[in-house]
Amino acid sequence: MGHKIAFLFPGQGSQFVGMGQELAEQFPGVEHIFKETDRICGKPITLLSFEGPMSELTLTENCQPAITAVSLACLSVLNESGVKSSVSAGHSVGECASMVSAGILSEKDALRLVHKRGGLMHREALANPGHMAAVIGLDMEAVLEIVAEAKNDGILDVANHNTAWQIVITGQKDPVARAVKMAKEKKGKAIPLKVSGAWHSGLMQGGVDEFRAFMEDIPFSSPRSDMIFNATAQAETDPERIKDIMANQLVSPVKWYDIMRKMLDDGVDTFVEVGPKNVLAGLLKKIISPDDAVNVFTVQDPKGLESVLEHIS
């Protein structure tokens, strides 16, 4: 009996110096992806990925294309090895690589899109500084109550619903600080995140229309396989609607928990994180229940690829 496979594509925070290097050395067929990334971005993103420094790699405008390039290289190697997914999702910027997996975008257009996205978000973060914090141990209902109370005419939103008990908040400095204090009073843990902007908050609103307009010049196709989108936790087939969703994603929460539960309910039994690190695999292990008979893999190097091939053969 065949496996129902989901590909998951990581977002910012998964970067590390050396990512993608082993894969590029062993599979010369992915070299064009890294060359195209450097050409589109007009700077040596690949060198940053392979050699650092980490301080440069972590800058949003570098990090987003760097992670996307590594994920696309991993995807290319999986596909060449005969591994295809029936559904995919990406965490925040991971949606750009996920759209290639689903047949919505070409590799080149995904790299153009992510270059624009990273630049816009960097610009908006400089114009509208903000903070983010991870709230651990409180459920969504409790966090939404805190957000409503701590907002106090400021900007404060939920950025990521990662697991039932891990929710990231985002917004202006004072509302985030108030929310952190309130979360601790409710016996939750709240950890300020080292980020350069308040991602997925209203502070990014200035980039939405420009990002949507930019997508008018990029050919989007109807998906060949399902992709579950962050902002809706649903699949979408209409290319114009997908553009709207991708633009609004800048100011919408990443409904990761809902996406994972949907995939599990739809019978996915094999999850493959396609790209650097294993952040999404770690989140998934916190979401699956003992009743979920699933396998979780990470493909970021030749060893990870081997594990997946053994599992599905």
* Domain limits, the chain: 5-126+203-312, 130-196
Average pLDDT, the chain: 97
Q: What is the pTM of this model?
A: 0.97
Selected catalytic residue, list 115, 122, 161, 200: 200
pLDDT tops 90 at residue 127? yes
User: Cα(245)–Cα(233) distance, rounded to whole angstroms?
Assistant: 11
CATH of 5-126+203-312, one of 3.40.366.10, 1.10.3470.10, 3.40.1410.10, 3.40.50.720: 3.40.366.10
User: Cα(306)–Cα(196) distance, rounded to whole angstroms?
Assistant: 36
User: Cα(204)–Cα(60) distance, rounded to whole angstroms?
Assistant: 13
Q: What pLDDT score was predicted for residue 1?
A: 55
Q: What is the CATH number of domain 130-196?
A: 3.30.70.250
Selected catalytic residue, list 14, 92, 196, 252: 92
User: Cα(183)–Cα(195) distance, rounded to whole angstroms?
Assistant: 20
Has 161 been annotated as catalytic?
A: no
pLDDT tops 90 at residue 211? yes
Is the sign of the CA dihedral 20, 22, 27, 29 positive or negative?
A: positive
Has 92 been annotated as catalytic?
A: yes
Q: What are phi and psi of 274, to 5 degrees?
A: -110, 95
**Neighbour tally for 288: CB within 10 Å:** 15
pLDDT, one tens digit per residue, over 169-204 is 999 999 999 999 999 999 999 999 989 999 999 999
Helix axes 60-80, 107-127, angle to 10 degrees: 160
